[in-house]
Structure 1
Amino acid sequence: MNAYKRYERISVILKILTENPNKLFNLNYFMDLFNVAKSTASEDIDILKSILEKFGLGDIKTVAGAGGGIKYIPINNIDNFHEFMIDICRKLEDPKRIIPGGFLYTADIIYSPQYANKIGEILSYPFQEKDVDAVVTVETKGIPIAMMCARALNVPLVIIRQDNRVTEGSSVSINYVSGSQKQIKAMSLSRRSLERNSKVVLIDDFMKAGGTIKGMIELMNEFDAEVLGAGVMIATKEPEVKVVKNYFSIFTLVEMNEDKETIKMEISDWLMYNMHKNGNNS
């Protein structure tokens, strides 16, 4: 039987854990995989844990008990994303992103696997220690970052539609009022998409007044789901009072002037607070 060197075992463990974030692995799994003693497997995990922490690449959590084990957490310190967030802020402030009518072009960032993955991980940060059953988003633009958030939390992604799909069977539909445009819109979700009494996280790409998130909350009520919170990539500074309360954003759109061709974007107060709390005074 093959005897694996420590660096080989650690490399394989790293690959398995990072491809399955927030999935619980019993230590016996790695003992059987490499045919090693429990003490050897534990030492491998301890070494990998220290490496991940040293380079800010996440953390390995130990869950005690008969059904316990270890799981990989993508973010152990939000400070490690500070430079990334500054970089995205600068990209979003490019005046060429202004679309006539007062819209902001973000598709190149949202649909970039590299950016979407990190944005999704940041959006997962407040919910890493919570018992989440599903991430919920509304079609279509927010799907990539919601998918990456769901991956980081290791839960299914549920997509709310803006119309009924015959291929998805019977659906629950509601009307909601767009917070910014004050228009009545509709959204629907297949009854098979979400188990009743699920604990969910709501994710969207952009929020102005919060009407869409509020509509998603109302739809979740139809499934008796518990909304643990909502995360959006960008929230506008105005209106300051949103129609929803339990949310956080990564970025705040402070100002966008179509005539002057200027955009001012900031990292959200919530994230800045958490970075300062962790000792980042950048």
Structure 2
Amino acid sequence: MRRGERLALLSKILCENPNRVISLKFFSERLDAAKSSISEDLNIIKNAFMLSGEGELSTIAGAGGGVRYRIKKPESEIKSFVETLCENLKDQKRIIPGGYIYMTDVIFSPEYSVKIGEIFAQIFMDREPTCVLTVETKGIPIALMTARALDVPLVVARRDSRVTEGPSVNISYVSGTGQKIQNMSLPKRALSENARVLIVDDFMKGGGTARGMMELSAEFNAEVVGVAVLVATGTPQCKLVKDYTSLMVLDGIDTEKGIINIRPDKITIS
């Protein structure tokens, strides 16, 4: 196989397996090439990724080592994407009865959900989460894409336990806005003890659901390393979750004038 052909396949494999350590032996056997040739190819790809702002390629030493590709977009590109997303969501046609905003098409769009998941992964990657936790609602697509970008499993909490999932841990929590008592359930096999959990959701108003997932994680002796939401409301300012990251802030919806006040939030990109 020629070098150009190897470079194409190496790039494809790395981009399809972000944050996963892949050994040189695997590449050598897969492409039928010497490890020295593979190393030279990876150096070329590393420089290309760095110059183009597509991510970083690092070498992991040791017996179980290899190379790992991590998605790392420039901060300017991320901010531009979030601004574009805000403009999309400002369309007055998105206002639905009750003063809500329709976002399902964005959340369930592979184009958007993949990029949102990659941004969340980039923000929280250094905290080394071992799983992503969400609740069975519209946040599942972006939580799944975040888990993929981190190369960790996705865990989904349900509103009610299912007999097909075996014994479960159930908790009751208070919603942040309506002050209603709600239930949340997670199979005992879903989370390992001492897991490092990244909570991902699509929307936060009072923070009750996120707080419920934090309390549920505590039942497994798991550590919550971060909370990421796509949109958080500007009010109430005091949420039940103190430390969270949102990409956008919804300040309000004027149903009479057809105006949706949504803006990018201040985020720190590593």
Q: TM-score, normalised by structure 2?
A: 0.95
State yes or no: 1:163 paired with 2:160.
yes
Question: 2:76 maps to which residue?
Answer: 79
Asked if 1:243 is matched to 2:240, the reply is yes
Aligned partner letter, 2:198: V
Partner of 2:101: 104
Cα distance in 2, alignment partners of residues 147 and 72 from structure 1: 19
C-alpha separation between the residues in 1 aligned to 2:80 and 2:138?
Answer: 24
Match of 1:67 among 49, 52, 64: 64
Give, in angstroms, the shift of residue 34 of structure 1. Answer: 2.6
Q: Look up the match of 1:150.
A: 147
| Unaligned runs of at least 5 residues, structure 2 | none
Tell whether the 8 Å contact from 1:78 to 1:122 is kept in structure 2 after alignment.
Answer: no
Q: Which residue of 2 aligns with 1:234?
A: 231
In structure 1, the residue matched to 2:251 is 254
The yes-or-no answer on 1:140 pairing with 2:137 is: yes
User: Whole-Å Cα distance in 2 between the matches of residues 137 and 31 of structure 1?
Assistant: 38
* Structure-2 separation of matches of 1:61 and 1:235: 34
Match of 1:195 in 2: 192
Could you list the per-position Cα deviations for residues 169-219 of structure 1 after superposition, in whole angstroms to 9, with x for gaps in the alignment? 111111111111111111111111111211110000000111110010000
How far apart, in 1, do the equivalents of 2:208 and 2:215 lie? Answer: 11
1:45-65, CA deviations, whole angstroms, 9 ceiling, x for partnerless residues? 111111122222222122222
Q: Which residue of 1 aligns with 2:42?
A: 45
| Displacement after TM superposition at 1:141 (Å) | 0.5
Task: Give 3-state SS (helix, strand or coil) of 1:270's partner.
Answer: coil
Q: Does 1:24 find its partner at 2:32?
A: no
Segment of structure 1 superposing worse, 183-192 or 34-43: 34-43
> What aligned pairs does 1:271-282 form with structure 2 within 5 A after superposition?
271=268, 274=269
- RMSD over aligned Cα atoms: 1.5
Question: Aligned partners of 1:80 and 1:49: how far apart in 2?
Answer: 20
Distance 1:239 1:205 in 2: 17
Structure 1 segment 175-190 matched on structure 2, within 5 A: 175-190=172-187
1:209 aligns with 2:206: yes
Q: Does 1:223 align with 2:220?
A: yes
**Displacement, 1:83?**
2.4
Q: Is the 8 A contact 1:56 1:80 kept in 2?
A: no
3-state DSSP of counterpart to 1:101: coil
Aligned amino acid, residue 195 of structure 1: S
- SS, match of residue 127 in structure 2: coil
Paired with 1:209 and 1:270, the residues of 2 have a C-alpha distance of 20
CA–CA distance in structure 2, aligned partners of residues 225 and 207 of structure 1: 22
- The code of the aligned residue for 2:156 comes to I
- Deviation per CA, 1:74-131: give whole Å up to 9, x if none: 2243332232212111011111111111211100000111111001111112222333
1:53–1:76 CA contact under 8 A, matched in 2:
no
**Contact conserved, 1:59 with 1:76, CA < 8 A, in 2?**
no
Structure 1 residue aligned with 2:3? 6
Query: Could you tell me which amino acid in structure 1 is paired with residue 200 of structure 2?
Result: I
Q: Percent identity?
A: 46
